[in-house]
Amino acid sequence: MKQANNRAVLDLTSGPALPLMLRFCLPILAGNLMQQFYNMADAAVVGKLVGTNALAAVGATGALTFLVIGFVNGICAGFCIPAAQAFGQGNRPLLRQCVAHIVLLAGISAVLLTAATSLLLDRMLTLMAFPPDIYADAHAYLRVIFAGIPATIAYNTQEGLMRAMGNSRTPLFILMGASVTNILLDLLLVGGARLGVRGAAIATIASQILAAAACFVYIRRVYPDLRPRRGETRLDGLLARRLILSGLPMALQYSITAVGSVLIQTAVNGLSTTVIASVTAANKVQTFVHLPFSTLGVTISTFVGQNMGARRFDRVKDGFRSSMKIAVIYSIGMGAFMFFCGAYVSLIFLDRGDPRLDELLSVIREFLRINCLFYIPLGVLTVCRFTLQGMEHGVTAMFAGAFEMAARAVVATVFASRFGFRAVCFANPAAWIAACVLLVPACAVVFRKAEKKTGAI
């Protein structure tokens, strides 16, 4: 029997779907927003205390960091989906076996990724053509970040396991503590010890180590079902394969998306400095706009995972419909807001004394207005993609990511050179629609097969 009376556990297999999903997702959204505000504060510390070149170096590593850390986040989240299914099924021995195998696979991933990124760092920076005046700082920053991949994996894996149990509140509190610690360490190491960008990277990894330790202590004290027993740590090839097939496609999907973003950024870099600055500011605004979509994705994958484990496909469909309603309503509301007010929001990131301000706002307005008209496809692809991942159809979701990358690649290599900025404006919408072309029919096919398998009507 599930520990539904335990505040550290949220059973998503019974009760009204929509209220449960909102209860689960709101702490995640709060944590994501906090992470974004922290990133802004972190950049401000580096910019103010070290200098513009240091800030540019850290900012320029964003796409590469997203490529690697996105892979890490994806593989950790994917590993935990079978754990959510085992919890929903009420199969405690299988849940503990999943944990044992997740720890093993996460450890192997940490070693391989740390070694690969350390060996290839110079080559990656060279391929991305980092300017000489920021190369050294970028190298120093990434050297520490990549060396800390084991800490990142340890934290994300344990956070994923807690969410698999339906607990999204405790990760929020741990993230709050880690964010405050990170900022304090930034001030100490960057401002006090004068370690520059290396100090900022050390602060990030140190806070993740503390967060991972906090997760470990909490899990040990609260979740006996996440502590493997003797005999449950023996390697099971089929279970390991299942976890890899869940984690690897999700990791590759994140990385494929990152590659597409790099291609578009390369196209933008070939335009004027005004366009570069405008697109940068517009993307910062859209980062906040997209947070509810990513939060909804995590929510639906956990909800679907638990209910697939419980063989409650009727609830999977309820969750899918509820998520789609949320996505469409949010897309319409936020789309309207961004159409009329998005450019003014971007003033947060602009210098009001810049003589190009009117031109910058005009470019930002056009970019955001074109993008916001396609928020509904973005919402649809988010719900479909994470539903498929919760049902362990991660390979299909990965191919949808490849469709996104292909669309962005076509825009970057073909249309941007011919139509300039206007083509860049349609890069994201083209990617979202391309993904929907695969994901929507894939969901329909998978749902029909699941109905036949579970006997749901």
Q: Which of 443, 405, 390 is nearest to 81 (CA)?
A: 390
pLDDT grade for 4, boundaries at 50, 70 and 90:
very low
263: CB partners within 8 A, 6+ apart: 405, 408, 409, 412, 413
- Residue 153 pLDDT more than 50? yes
**Chain length of the chain:** 457
Is residue 3 over pLDDT 50? no
Reported as a single tens digit per residue, the pLDDT across 215-227 is: 999 999 999 999 9
Among the ranges given (24-33, 149-158, 448-457), the one the predictor scored with the smallest mean pLDDT: 448-457
Contact, 73 vs 301, CB < 8 A?
no
**Are 252 and 202 within one domain?**
no
Q: Are residues 191 and 75 in the same domain?
A: yes
User: Mind listing the pLDDT tens digit for each residue in 323-360?
Assistant: 999 999 999 999 999 999 999 998 887 778 888 899 99
Same domain for 46 and 176?
yes
Instruction: Say yes or no: 215 and 326 in one domain.
Output: no
Residues 378 and 231 reside in one and the same domain: no
Domain membership of residue 393 (yes or no) is yes
Same domain, 150 and 271: no
pLDDT over 80 (residue 2): no
| Residue 61 pLDDT class (50, 70, 90 cuts) | confident
Domain contains 2: no
Question: Which of 210, 235, 260 is the endpoint of a domain?
Answer: 235
pLDDT (0 to 100) of residue 320: 97
Among 235, 260, 276, give the residue marking a domain's end.
Answer: 235
| Domain of residue 147, residue span | 21-235
**252 and 181 co-located in one domain:** no
Overall number of domains in the chain: 2
Contact present, 165 and 10 (Cβ < 8 Å)? yes
Q: Which residues contact 254 (CB under 8 A, 6 or more apart)?
A: 66, 70, 71, 73, 74, 401
pLDDT band at residue 5 under the 50/70/90 scheme:
very low
Whether residues 253 and 168 fall in one domain: no
455 band by pLDDT with thresholds 50, 70 and 90: low
Residue at which a domain ends, from 235, 269, 285: 235
Identify whether 267 is part of a domain.
Answer: yes
| 175/182 Cα distance (integer angstroms) | 10
For residue 416, the model assigns a pLDDT of: 86
User: Is pTM, for the whole model, over 0.85?
Assistant: yes
Q: Is the pLDDT of residue 302 over 50?
A: yes
- What's the CA gap between 222 and 219, in Å, rounded? 5
Same domain, 267 and 212: no
Half-sphere exposure of 410 (CA within 13 A, CB side): 11
